[in-house]
């Protein structure tokens, strides 16, 4: 079959494509010629019967072959060999019956035709044709031995038979040789393909082994990463990095692992080594090089590197070193693996170790951050525990989220008439949106009527700003002012004593001076009159200062009680302005009352009049000639706001927060109007705050100043407004 296909491949392309069609077209022509030849040959009866049987059997075989199922190879083989057997039987009959070439040639052609048609399926069909011709010629020559020689036609026929048989043999032999050559070529190609496939299989096995090794390394790397991120202790993290590195590269090729961290310019090494002779400083030159270049380094043989000569002397050859990044910035260390095997590490190992070092750097950074946070936490706890002040932190719902021991002790104080937590919540509610700190009045521990020997605290509430995703907190610091209160009481007692001691001599001196000025001690010269008038003015000023001291002392000691009552504030303002208008005109200043009719307020008429007088007199002192002072008021929410505005020199911005401090004077006013005790505004603040109001100042230097204070509306006024 292969030989037939080989012969077919040698035919022209167009002939191969049309071979079957041409066969069908010209098949009847040789059949008719052969039938005519057989009818003219006058074959013996036995040969005719054999030909008829031969045709019948082949027709049956053709029918059997066409009716067999497609792909039935066994049955096709059976039909082919049965056809060859029928050809052999017909050949035997022809040899035994035919006596001349005329009888033999048609049958020989018939068998040849059948052999050629079946050669493509079975090359054994040519054997009969190859054997039949020589045997018949040999038998024919034997039968004619001693008789007449062959005629010229018989000779040509015998030559044709012999040529056909020999040609058939030659073709068969050539086809077999070509088939063998083709088979050999196919075997060579098959062997080459087998070798290629075996090489491919070996390559795939190598890749599979390498993949399994990488998978083991990756699994070890994942386990190592899981281990180093499972703790926040820096020492545990560093030890786990060493263990995980050994697990990642395998103990068989890992003889030492060095973890290096740079601290204050020096290298701190942690090491795992199978041989205690190995020293970490032997690989420091490579570590410094890697940290400087910020790239991994793979050394196949340390003996070739002059900087690593010490480590090569003990039999260690391969080194892999990668930089260790902890946080942002340059490397803070390196991770180094040392092996006794030549070229034990590859670039792939460098990539794996770099990936592991990146995660190790993150774990080290987290551990260091955790350590710093723990130290800061311990420091904060120590500060909160040991400070003398109490600290309580409230959340947005005024729940306690933090309290130090002093603050917790106050929260647990059950003897207080008002719970401390309730006081703190009230203080926190007074914080404004701008977050300015708010101070509480004095809070006494225990009996609120206690005057001496009791513990006194003052609380200051401040807003604590946190991240956007957290609610703001309120921190309340409870400062122990017991000693300060004792010192303040002693100071006030001293001021009160001195003021009373000064007051009586001043009254006596003032009385005698006035008597002399009135001429009851005799006539005075003009010069004496001037001197005594000046002395009288100074005595009056000194008496005023002593009165201020006494009044301020009474306020601070709480011995001066206010007597608020429902009154007409607009009427008080009008009376005060009219009383001071003459004084303003003497300084060439316009004093204007712009106050409308106000609802009833609750206030102490005498003390609020004192506040108005002090503010207007201060405005007169601060306003140059030709200036204007205006007094106005308005209702705002549930309070009345009273304003005293001037067009004076103004107050520097740096001094605005100090003017309500006791004994403080604005520098410009001090230079322009001489010295005073600076208690007027402090007394005004105490009076206004004693009414439950507020006082503040707004000023622009060179433009003017506005003092504003508030008073609450009376209950009757609120009902009228509603």
Instruction: Determine what percent of the chain is predicted with pLDDT higher than 90.
Output: 7
Q: Which of the residue ranges 34-43, 523-532, 626-635 has the most confident prediction, judged by mean pLDDT?
A: 626-635
Query: Euclidean distance between the first and final Cα of the chain, in Å?
Result: 122
Average the pLDDT over 658-664 and give the result.
69
Neighbours of 119 (CB within 10 A): 21
Which has more pLDDT, 526 or 593? 593
Provide the 3-class DSSP secondary structure of residue 479: strand
Average the pLDDT over 597-610 and give the result.
88
Provide the 3-class DSSP secondary structure of residue 692: coil
Q: How many CA atoms lie within 13 A of 535 on its CB side?
A: 16
Average the pLDDT over 8-19 and give the result.
55
Q: What pLDDT score does 674 carry? A: 42
The yes-or-no verdict on residue 555 having pLDDT over 70 is no
Q: What pLDDT score does 378 carry? A: 84
Sign of the Cα torsion 174, 180, 183, 189 reads negative
The yes-or-no verdict on residue 579 having pLDDT over 60 is yes
Residue 623 backbone phi and psi in degrees, to 5: -105, 125
Residue 507 backbone phi and psi in degrees, to 5: -60, -45
Whether the CB-CB separation of 17 and 8 falls below 8 Å is answered with no
The helix-helix angle for 45-67 and 73-97 (nearest 10°) equals 170
Which has more pLDDT, 337 or 503? 337
Average the pLDDT over 152-163 and give the result.
69
Q: What pLDDT score does 573 carry? A: 92
Return the closest-CA partner of residue 337 out of 402, 245, 241.
Answer: 245
Q: What pLDDT score does 642 carry? A: 94
Tokens of 512: 């005698």
- Distance, CA of 404 to CA of 259 (rounded, Å): 42
Banded model confidence at residue 421, pLDDT cuts 50, 70, 90? confident
Which has more pLDDT, 110 or 664? 110
The yes-or-no verdict on residue 666 having pLDDT over 60 is no
Average the pLDDT over 357-374 and give the result.
81
**Strand 590-593 relative to strand 628-636: parallel, antiparallel, unpaired?**
parallel
- Distance, CA of 504 to CA of 495 (rounded, Å): 15
Neighbours of 114 (CB within 10 A): 20
Which has more pLDDT, 407 or 158? 407
Average the pLDDT over 589-616 and give the result.
89
- Distance, CA of 220 to CA of 244 (rounded, Å): 7
Average the pLDDT over 33-38 and give the result.
63
Provide the 3-class DSSP secondary structure of residue 699: strand
Residue 286: exposed, middle, or buried by beta-carbon count in 10 A (0-12, 13-18, 19+)? buried
Which has more pLDDT, 163 or 698? 698
Q: Which of the residue ranges 16-20, 209-213, 599-603, 641-645 has the most confident prediction, judged by mean pLDDT?
A: 641-645
Tokens of 255: 């003889």
Banded model confidence at residue 643, pLDDT cuts 50, 70, 90? very high
Residue 305: exposed, middle, or buried by beta-carbon count in 10 A (0-12, 13-18, 19+)? middle
Contacting residues for 430 by C-beta, under 8 A, at least 6 apart: 438, 461
Q: What pLDDT score does 224 carry? A: 58
Which has more pLDDT, 565 or 119? 565
The yes-or-no verdict on residue 706 having pLDDT over 90 is yes
Annotate 379-438 with DSSP letters as a single string: HHHHHHHH-SSEEEEE-TT--EEEE-HHHHHHHT--SSSS-HHHHHHHHHHT--TT---E
Question: Which region among 108-122, 461-475, 671-685 has the lowest average model confidence (pLDDT)?
Answer: 671-685
Whether the CB-CB separation of 572 and 612 falls below 8 Å is answered with yes
Annotate 97-155 with DSSP letters as a single string: H--SHHHHHHHHHHHHHHHHHHTTT-TTHHHHHHHHHHHHHHHHHHHTTTSPPPPHHHH
**Which DSSP state fits 678?**
S
- Distance, CA of 261 to CA of 664 (rounded, Å): 59
The yes-or-no verdict on residue 583 having pLDDT over 60 is yes
Which residue reads 């946070």 in tokens?
373
The yes-or-no verdict on residue 50 having pLDDT over 60 is yes
Whether the CB-CB separation of 415 and 455 falls below 8 Å is answered with no
Which has more pLDDT, 165 or 622? 622
Max distance between CA atoms of the chain, in angstroms, equals 216
Tokens of 532: 């005594």
- Distance, CA of 306 to CA of 300 (rounded, Å): 13
Average the pLDDT over 348-369 and give the result.
81
Q: What pLDDT score does 717 carry? A: 41
Question: Which region among 10-24, 164-178, 185-199, 673-687 has the lowest average model confidence (pLDDT)?
Answer: 10-24
Q: What angle do CA 234, 235, 236 make, to 5 degrees?
A: 90
Question: Which region among 390-399, 614-623, 674-683, 705-714 has the lowest average model confidence (pLDDT)?
Answer: 674-683
Sign of the Cα torsion 220, 226, 227, 232 reads positive
The yes-or-no verdict on residue 262 having pLDDT over 70 is yes
pLDDT, the chain, mean: 76
- Distance, CA of 307 to CA of 86 (rounded, Å): 94
Tokens of 585: 């005109």
Whether the CB-CB separation of 254 and 352 falls below 8 Å is answered with no
Average the pLDDT over 688-694 and give the result.
87
Banded model confidence at residue 673, pLDDT cuts 50, 70, 90? very low
Q: What pLDDT score does 71 carry? A: 52
Average the pLDDT over 433-459 and give the result.
71
Question: Which region among 12-16, 224-228, 487-491 has the lowest average model confidence (pLDDT)?
Answer: 12-16
Return the closest-CA partner of residue 302 out of 336, 352, 330, 271.
Answer: 336
Average the pLDDT over 321-333 and give the result.
85
The yes-or-no verdict on residue 670 having pLDDT over 60 is no
Q: What pLDDT score does 2 carry? A: 44
- Distance, CA of 673 to CA of 587 (rounded, Å): 13
- Distance, CA of 560 to CA of 562 (rounded, Å): 7
**Which DSSP state fits 512?**
H
């Amino acid at each position: 079959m292969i030989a037939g296909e080989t012969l077919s491949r040698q035919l022209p392309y167009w002939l191969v494509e049309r071979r079957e069609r041409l066969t069908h077209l010209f098949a009847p022509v040789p059949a008719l010629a052969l039938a005519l030849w057989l009818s003219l040959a006058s074959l013996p009866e036995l040969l005719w019967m054999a030909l008829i049987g031969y045709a019948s059997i082949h027709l049956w075989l053709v029918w059997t072959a066409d009716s067999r199922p497609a792909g039935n190879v066994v049955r096709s083989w059976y039909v082919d060999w049965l056809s060859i057997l029928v050809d052999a039987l017909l050949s035997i009959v022809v040899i035994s019956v035919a006596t001349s070439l005329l009888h033999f040639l048609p049958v020989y052609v018939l068998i040849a035709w059948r052999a050629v048609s079946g050669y493509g399926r079975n090359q054994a069909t040519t054997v009969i044709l190859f054997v039949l011709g020589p045997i018949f010629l040999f038998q024919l020559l034997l039968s004619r031995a001693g008789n007449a020689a062959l005629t010229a036609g018989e000779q040509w026929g015998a030559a044709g038979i012999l040529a056909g048989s020999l040609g058939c043999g030659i073709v068969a032999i050539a086809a077999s040789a070509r088939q063998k050559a083709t088979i050999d070529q196919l075997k060579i190609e098959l062997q080459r393909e087998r070798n290629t496939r075996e090489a491919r299989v070996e390559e795939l096995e190598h890749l599979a082994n390498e993949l399994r090794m990488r998978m083991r390394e990756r699994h070890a790397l994942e386990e190592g990463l899981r281990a180093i991120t499972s703790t926040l202790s820096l020492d545990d993290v560093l030890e786990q990095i060493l263990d995980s590195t050994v697990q990642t590269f395998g103990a068989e090729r890992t003889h030492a692992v060095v973890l290096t961290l740079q601290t204050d310019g020096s290298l701190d090494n942690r090491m795992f080594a199978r041989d205690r002779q190995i020293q970490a400083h032997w690989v420091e030159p490579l570590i410094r090089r890697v940290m400087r270049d910020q790239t991994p380094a793979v050394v196949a043989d340390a003996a070739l590197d002059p900087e690593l000569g010490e480590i090569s002397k003990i039999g260690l050859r391969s080194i892999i070193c990668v930089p260790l990044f902890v946080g942002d910035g340059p490397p803070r260390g390196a991770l180094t693996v040392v092996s006794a095997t030549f070229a034990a590490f590859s670039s792939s190992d460098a990539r794996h170790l770099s990936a592991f070092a990146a995660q190790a750097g993150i774990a080290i950074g987290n551990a260091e951050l955790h350590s710093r946070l723990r130290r800061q936490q311990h420091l904060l706890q120590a500060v909160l525990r040991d400070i003398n002040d109490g600290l309580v932190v409230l959340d947005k719902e005024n729940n306690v989220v933090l309290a130090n021991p002093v603050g917790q002790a106050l929260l647990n104080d059950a003897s207080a008439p008002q719970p401390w937590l309730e006081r703190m919540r009230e203080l926190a509610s007074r914080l404004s949106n701008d977050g300015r700190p708010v101070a509480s009045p004095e809070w006494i521990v225990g009996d609120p009527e206690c005057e001496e020997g009791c513990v006194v605290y003052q609380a200051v509430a401040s807003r604590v700003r946190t991240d956007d995703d957290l609610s703001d907190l309120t921190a309340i610091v409870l400062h122990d002012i017991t000693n300060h209160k004792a010192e303040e009481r002693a100071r006030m007692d001293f001021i009160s004593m001195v003021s009373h001691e000064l007051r009586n001599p001043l009254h006596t001196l003032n009385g005698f001076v006035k008597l002399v000025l009135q001429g009851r001690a005799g006539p005075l010269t003009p010069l004496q009159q001037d001197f005594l008038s000046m002395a009288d003015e100074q005595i009056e000023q000194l008496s005023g200062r002593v009165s201020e001291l006494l009044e301020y002392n009474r306020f601070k000691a709480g011995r001066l009680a206010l007597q608020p009552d429902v009154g007409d504030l607009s009427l008080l303002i009008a009376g005060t302005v009219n009383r001071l208008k003459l004084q303003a005109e003497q300084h060439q200043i316009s004093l204007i009352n712009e106050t409308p009719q106000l609802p009833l307020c609750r206030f102490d008429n005498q003390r609020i009049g004192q506040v108005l007088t002090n503010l207007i007199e201060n405005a007169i002192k601060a306003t140059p000639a030709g200036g204007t002072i205006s007094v106005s008021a308005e209702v705002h929410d549930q309070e009345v706001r009273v304003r005293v505005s001037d067009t004076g020199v103004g107050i520097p911005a740096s001094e605005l927060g100090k003017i309500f401090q006791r004994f403080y004077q604005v520098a410009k006013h001090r230079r322009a109007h001489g010295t005073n005790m600076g208690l007027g505004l402090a007394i005004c603040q105490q009076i206004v705050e004693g009414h439950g109001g507020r006082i503040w100042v707004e000023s622009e230097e060179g433009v003017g100043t506005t003092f504003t204070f508030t008073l609450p509306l009376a209950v009757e006024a609120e009902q009228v407004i509603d």
